Structure 1
């Protein structure tokens, strides 16, 4: 398989989806397009590749990974196929979280200029960006539970 091509295409596609999320109006059709065309397609790419990769049906995998040890995770991600599929996993989940942050921030009235830096951190550092948003959201609530429970 051409792992470099798969990496480049999925990475570029995810970046386009993030730009749309950050800059486009958040109309229903735009958000549905991001969900199905962004998260959905990245998840589909992951699903189509992961089983053949893990079973050795396609080159680039290391067999069934052992995710219970650090050495097993290193082995699973330590080749072109493993690194690419791992990256697609990050891309799909981070975009999903970014969409939740954007929807929730709109719901609670946060201006776009405040959302964009938070979305950047969700894109680049995943859980750190989510933590930033949850702390920001806390400023609109009286109780910690209200600030962290997803709605």
Structure 2
């Protein structure tokens, strides 16, 4: 398995989807395409690689089985080319999903695109930190925490 090639292809694909999310018009067609064709395709790629890897049908590049039962096992799994690539695709899929949610929610509440772009870049690069930044920004528009978390 050429893990370097898979890593490169998924990285380029993810960057393209993020550029669309950042700069394209956010109409139904674009957002649906990003959701299914972006996050959905990354999640599918992850699944199509992870399941055979879990059952030993493809080699991770380390010659060992996957072990998520201990920190040492997770370190060993993620240190292999296959484990690191699949782990990265996992991040890419979930970060894009969160980015789509942030963008849609920010649009719904009238946050200007110039305010969204830095937060979306944090979501892309640092995942949970970007989400926290958006939740804090969202909280500034509401009097109660529940209103910020569960919009009507």
Same fold (TM over 0.5): yes
Are the aligned partners of 2:66 and 2:73 in contact in 1 as well (CA < 8 Å)?
A: no
The 3-state SS of whatever aligns with 1:56 is coil
- Report what 1:96 is aligned to: 97
**Structure 1 segments (4+ residues) deviating >2 Å:** 148-151
Q: Does 1:41 align with 2:38?
A: no
Alpha-carbon distance in 2 for matches of 1:150, 1:36: 23
Q: CA deviation at 1:150?
A: 6.2
Q: CA deviation at 1:11?
A: 0.7
Unmatched 5+ stretches in structure 2: none
Unmatched 5+ stretches in structure 1: none
- Report what 1:64 is aligned to: 66
Are the aligned partners of 2:3 and 2:82 in contact in 1 as well (CA < 8 Å)?
A: yes
- Report what 1:77 is aligned to: 78
Q: Figure out how many residues of one structure are paired with residues of the other and give that number.
A: 150
Bigger drift between 71-80 and 129-138 goes to 71-80
- Report what 1:132 is aligned to: 133
Normalised to the residue count of structure 2, the TM-score between the two structures is: 0.94
Q: CA deviation at 1:56?
A: 1.7
Alpha-carbon distance in 1 for matches of 2:28, 2:67: 39
Q: CA deviation at 1:87?
A: 0.2
Alpha-carbon distance in 2 for matches of 1:105, 1:72: 39
- 1:10-53 Cα offsets, whole Å, 9 max, x none, are 01101000000000000000001101110111111111110111
- 1:85-132 Cα offsets, whole Å, 9 max, x none, are 000000000000000000000000000000000000000000000000
The 3-state SS of whatever aligns with 2:66 is coil
Q: CA deviation at 1:149?
A: 3.3
Alpha-carbon distance in 2 for matches of 1:54, 1:146: 41
